[in-house]
Amino acid sequence: MDHMSPIERWLRGIALTVVVLFFMFPIFWIVLMSLQTNETILRSPPSMVFEPTFGNYVAIIAGRLDSNVASMGIAFMDNLWNSILLSVGSVAVALLLGVPAAYAFARHKFRGSEEVAFTLLSFRFAPPLLVLLPLSLYFQQIGLANTYLGLIWVYQLICLPLILWIVRGYFEDISPDLEHAYRIAGHSWLSTFRRIALPLAGPGIAAAGLLAFIFAWNNFIFALVLASADKQPVTVGALAFVTASGIQYGQIAAAIVLSIAPTLALALYAQRYLVEGLSLGAVKG
Amino acid sequence: MPELRIEDLTKRFKGEAVLDGVSLTVEDGETLTLFGPSGAGKTVLLRCIAGAVDPEDGRILIGGEDMQDVAPEHRGIGMAFQNFALFPHMTAFDNIASPLTAQRRSRDAVREGVERVAKLLKIDHVLSHAPRALSNGQKQRTALARALAASPGLLLLDDPLRNVDAKLRFEMRLELPRLLADQGATVIYVTQDYKEAMALGDRIAVLSDGKIAQVGTPEEIYRRPASIEIARLFGDPTINLLDVVPEKDGAGVFARLSNQRVPLHGGLEAAVGRDCVLGLRPEALRFSANEDGIPVMIEAETPFNEKTVTLVVTARGREILISRPAGTPAPASGAAQIAADATDALLFDRATQARIVPDRDGGSTSEAAA
Amino acid sequence: MAAASDISIPRRRFAVSRRLLPYLLSLPALLVCIAILIPFFTAVYYSLQRFRLSQPWNRGMNWGENYLNFLTDPDFWNTLQVSLTYAFLTVGLELLLGLGIALLLKKRTRLNNFISIMLLMPLMTAPALAALMWKLMTNPNFGILSYFAAQLGFPDFRWGSSPDTALFTVVLVDIWVYTPFIMILLLAGLRSLPTQPFEAAALDGVPRFQQFWRITLPMLMPYILTASLFRLLDSIQQFDIIYAMTQGGPGDTLMVFQVEAYLNFFQSTNVGRSAALLMILWVITYFLSNIFIKNWLRLRERARGEV
């Protein structure tokens, strides 16, 4: 494979350039757009030459947009805050529930363990609305509708299978003898779990947590069904923002940039584990 | 130091019995080597004792106390694993210290305890290293040090020399008996190497197919193996096994090999006329100058350090190994004669595979598994 | 020296809890599991009912009527057709593209690794937000893609707002978001393939084109299968991109299952029909996911074995 003809090398280079352009351009363009005023955005033909401004970001962060026509409030920072709260909360709960369960599934083959693990997994692939629509009615009845608690609970639908299956794999990779050795040395079950199992599965738990965060952050449908405006994360909020502000394209772009920046940053940080996480532990990167 | 008693222990994996009614007693302060081919259930037995595996049936008593429902950490055991099982995220020091920290000893006491065993095992210079920075031999010593650190009353050593190279194994084999004696602990030492079993054990328990096949001193196991299998497992080169039907005449009981008499123990009269297997240790055979020896052809000679092993073939095509001390003169190649020491000949029942024990009164009984 | 072991150790403590421990540990996960199953069975129940939120007095069991109605309901057939078209179109194109890119990036050079990491960014973008980005790019007033289309001689190319090009537009967004998923899985697969068969083939003088068909592709099959099924399962339920881009429109051009069910529930408040639609989608995904999980487990086993 090492000897390529010059033509082949050229074709390869062109193909890669096209690929990179196609996949990178939208992000590049939205960032450019977010740094422009509406006037330069609406220029025709579009041009890369403009004076960058942070006005759009300032307006969003300040929560007010003052134009020469009118002044309007922007609640997008609330959406950002909701996203952080929901994602962090969901991951924390999923880790709290999922890590012990993953350990139990990895170490003790007990009756019904596989069934539970597979039920959780299979609902990862079931239509989310199937569970969401009845839940929305139940939530009305039991007062969980439009609460962070109710949303975080539903977010477990995506976070928990991810944590369970990835972390389980990491626990399975630890030789049981290490834990036996620590027990025999005189340590209790709990301290063995804390001092041996948890630290050794640590990288996996961290990776699964980061990925669960990304998936929770990127989720759209749960909050669309179950949350009203004041609890909505950025994914739903951005859509509402587009409808509400109509023509404030610069701010919309800035809002989108602010919304995707955290997951992109985390993904770059955790990229070593992405392959494994995306395939729920089926493929190692 | 506690006595260990195992009664009728049974463990199944997927319906198959890995341990099948194992009963065994290890005396207070004794070193028992648990010997058997791989897959015999040695490791499982050790894990049952340690509490890492729950047996289906039977009892384990340590110091007279039933260990059922006693968690591993409360059994007062030290254990060294075949694969070392060192905690990869801790230094050698912390590894060795783990049984001491479990007892909530003071920091100084822990340090003192670790340094004591580390010095004993000559690893005091690598205590700050992580396991992956240790050589195989150092890993093995660290694992051993960890097992010894808290001076446990019962020490379980699962083939600790299996994964180290030959030189280290030799060194440790010399060092271990003194080390274990100094500990004063009751020890079970698992091994697949019969020489190790014989060198280290006060007694040897032979485990085969999940059952205890024989328990005895090394001498007993070697001289009076309970079955053909055990006879074959102990000894290198392996014992010569020849199908015979013992006969009797005026001079006593004998077996016929190539029309030559091999005299047998007088107490084996009951075996006369039965299908038997004659077991002759290679060192119990010698080349004979007399014409009444068994005529054989010399096929090959293999010199070892301390002995020379010769492969010969009888007129009927049976292959026999003969061992003699190195340095003794070699017989001429080609045809030769061999003779056997009658007192060292073992006789087994071909059907039951059990050894036929000579009876002083002239009768004989098949020796049951001890 | 032996003093330490003479300390009497408290024994006989958690005889019972030892057996209960695994159950205790997984109890929370079990509860979540039940919390999923309850609404699921509720949905089954709803799907057998005449149930409109706007007409609570008219509620009652009608058993299979919701399902029977589908047979003669052109909207349902449209939904089925659009969903399947969307799913197979996206997965097929993403597979071809993903495999192509993975082959381009196979060699572990610094540049290739950098590119493969960069390509993850679309995948990490929330699909709903990705749809918004493309919506801006295809805006008729200032969208850069509309501008390009005009330059290429399509001044009236209306992207998501025309029934003729709406499917093309959302498929394009789906490809932008999810091709990296297939690419990264296949790249991991490609890089984990043993090298001996390739070396042997090179020695035997097998042309590279044939190497691909005879060695690479068959050995990569488990990865291709898992990645495609994974994507197919997601794609047939696509909601975010389509809803954020066109809300299923224009007209009913993009009324895929979940969008249709969502609108049925919240706009026409027809809970019974909505639930029945979702049940049919569930049956499809259930079969797919069974095949998927079998493949996935095999691949997972293999990945574990390599540790």
Strand order in the sheet with B260-263: B247-249, B252-257, B260-263
Helix (H, G, I), strand (E, B) or coil at B357: strand
| pLDDT value of position C4 | 40
Q: Does the distance separating the beta carbons of B71 and C1 come in below 8 Å?
A: no
C-alpha to C-alpha distance for B203 and B222, rounded to whole angstroms: 12
Q: Does the distance separating the beta carbons of A199 and B89 come in below 8 Å?
A: yes
Q: Between residues 125 and 144 of chain A, which touch chain C (CB distance below 8 Å)?
A: 125-135, 137-138
Radius of gyration of chain B (CA): 24
Helix (H, G, I), strand (E, B) or coil at B365: strand
C-alpha to C-alpha distance for A100 and B115, rounded to whole angstroms: 36
Q: Residue B136 is encoded by which pair of tokens?
A: 């195989």
Does position A45 have pLDDT exceeding 80, yes or no?
no
Which 8-state DSSP code applies to residue B283? G
| pLDDT value of position C236 | 93
Q: Residue A65 — very low, low, confident or very high, per pLDDT cuts 50/70/90?
A: low
pLDDT in tens, chain B (370 residues): 688 898 988 888 888 888 888 899 998 888 999 998 888 888 899 999 988 888 888 888 888 888 888 888 888 899 999 888 999 999 999 999 999 988 888 899 999 999 988 888 888 899 999 999 998 888 988 999 999 888 888 999 988 888 777 887 888 888 888 888 888 889 999 998 888 888 888 999 999 888 888 999 988 898 889 999 899 888 888 888 888 888 888 778 888 887 777 888 777 888 888 888 988 888 888 887 777 778 888 888 888 878 888 888 888 888 888 888 877 777 667 788 888 776 778 889 888 888 888 876 444 444 433 3
Q: What is the ipTM of this complex?
A: 0.90
Q: Does the distance separating the beta carbons of B87 and A181 come in below 8 Å?
A: yes
Q: How far is CA B97 from the centre of its chain?
A: 31
Which 8-state DSSP code applies to residue C102? H
Q: Determine how many CB atoms are found less than 10 A away from the CB of residue C259.
A: 24
The mean per-residue pLDDT over the stretch A71-97 comes to: 88
Q: Which of B65, B69, B184 faces C15 most closely, judged by CB atoms?
A: B69
> What class, spelled out in words, does domain B4-226 have in CATH?
alpha beta
Cα end-to-end distance, chain B, whole Å: 25
pLDDT top residue among A123 and A191: A191
Q: Does A50 touch chain C (CB under 8 A)?
A: no
What is the torsion angle, in degrees rounded to the nearest 10, for the CA atoms of residue C128, residue C134, residue C137 and residue C140? -90
Q: Determine how many CB atoms are found less than 10 A away from the CB of residue A193.
A: 19
C153: which residues sit within 8 A by CB, 6+ positions away?
A: none
| pLDDT value of position A30 | 92
Q: For B237-249, b where at least 16 C-beta lie within 10 A, e where not — what string?
A: bebbbbebebeee
- The 10s digit of each residue's pLDDT in C184-198 is 999 988 988 888 888
Q: Give strand pairing partners of B356.
A: B366
Chain C interface, mutation test: which of B66, B74, B119, most C Cβ atoms within 10 Å? B74
Which of chain B's residues have a Cβ under 8 Å away from the Cβ of C7?
103
Domain A76-278 belongs to what topology?
Answer: MetI-like fold (1.10.3720)
Q: Give strand pairing partners of B22.
A: B9
Sign of the CA dihedral running B58, B62, B65, B68: negative
Q: Does the distance separating the beta carbons of C10 and B74 come in below 8 Å?
A: yes
Q: What does pTM read for this prediction?
A: 0.84
Q: Residue A103 is encoded by which pair of tokens?
A: 């350990």
| pLDDT value of position C182 | 94
Q: Which of A125, A221, A267 faces C124 most closely, judged by CB atoms?
A: A267
List residues of C whose CB lies inside 8 A of any B CB: 1-5, 7, 9-15, 18
Q: Pick the residue from chain B with its C-alpha nearest to A182.
A: B98
Does position A90 have pLDDT exceeding 70, yes or no?
yes
Q: Does the distance separating the beta carbons of C9 and B69 come in below 8 Å?
A: no
Q: Residue C87 is encoded by which pair of tokens?
A: 């799913």
Residue corresponding to tokens 């961290």: A206
| pLDDT value of position A1 | 47
Q: Which residues of chain C are modeled with pLDDT < 50? A: 1-15, 307
Residue corresponding to tokens 């109710």: A150
Q: Which of B71, B77, B87 faces A196 most closely, judged by CB atoms?
A: B87
Domain boundaries, chain B: 4-226, 233-366
CA atoms within 13 Å, Cβ hemisphere of C54: 7
Q: Tell me where in chain A the CATH 1.10.3720.10 domain(s) lie.
A: 76-278
- Cis bond upstream, residue B263 (ω within 30): no
Q: Which of C23, C126, C136 faces A260 most closely, judged by CB atoms?
A: C126
Q: Residue A161 is encoded by which pair of tokens?
A: 């299978």
Q: Which of A175, A187, A199 faces B73 most closely, judged by CB atoms?
A: A187
Q: Between residues 245 and 284 of chain A, which touch chain C (CB distance below 8 Å)?
A: 249, 252-253, 256, 259-260, 263-264, 266-268, 271, 274-276, 278-284
Q: In sequence order, what DSSP letters do the residues of chain A get, joined into one string?
A: -----HHHHHHHHHHHHHHHHHHHHHHHHHHHHHTS-HHHHT-SS--S------HHHHHHHHTEEE-SS-EEE--HHHHHHHHHHHHHHHHHHHHHHHHHHHHHHHH---TTHHHHHHHHHHHHSS-HHHHHHHHHHHHHHHT-TT-HHHHHHHHHHHHHHHHHHHHHHHHHHS-HHHHHHHHHTT--HHHHIIIIIHHHHHHHHHHHHHHHHHHHHH--HHHHHH--GGG--HHHHHHHHHHHHTT-HHHHHHHHHHHHHHHHHHHHHTHHHHHHHHTTTSS--
C-alpha to C-alpha distance for B310 and B333, rounded to whole angstroms: 10
Q: Determine how many CB atoms are found less than 10 A away from the CB of residue C75.
A: 14
How far apart are the CA of B272 and the nearest CA of chain A, in angstroms?
53
Q: Residue A285 — very low, low, confident or very high, per pLDDT cuts 50/70/90?
A: low
Q: Which of C5, C11, C12 faces B150 most closely, judged by CB atoms?
A: C5
Q: Residue A99 is encoded by which pair of tokens?
A: 């890590």
Helix or strand run (H / E) with residue C246? helix C240-246
Superfamily (CATH) of domain B233-366: Nucleic acid-binding proteins (2.40.50.140)
pLDDT above 90: percentage of residues in chain A: 36
C-alpha to C-alpha distance for B343 and B266, rounded to whole angstroms: 10
Residues in chain B: 370
Domain boundaries, chain C: 79-305
- The 10s digit of each residue's pLDDT in A213-269 is 999 999 999 999 988 888 899 999 888 888 776 678 888 899 999 999 999 998 888
C-alpha to C-alpha distance for B42 and B51, rounded to whole angstroms: 14
Report the greatest alpha carbon distance in chain B.
79
| pLDDT value of position B131 | 92
Which of chain B's residues have a Cβ under 8 Å away from the Cβ of A175?
83, 85
Phi, psi of C76, deg, nearest 5 = -65, -45
Q: Pick the residue from chain C with its C-alpha nearest to B184.
A: C2
> Of C139, C133, C250, C262, which Cα lies nearest the Cα of A239?
C133
| pLDDT value of position C98 | 95
Domain C79-305 belongs to what topology?
Answer: MetI-like fold (1.10.3720)
Which of chain A's residues have a Cβ under 8 Å away from the Cβ of C28?
96-97, 100-101
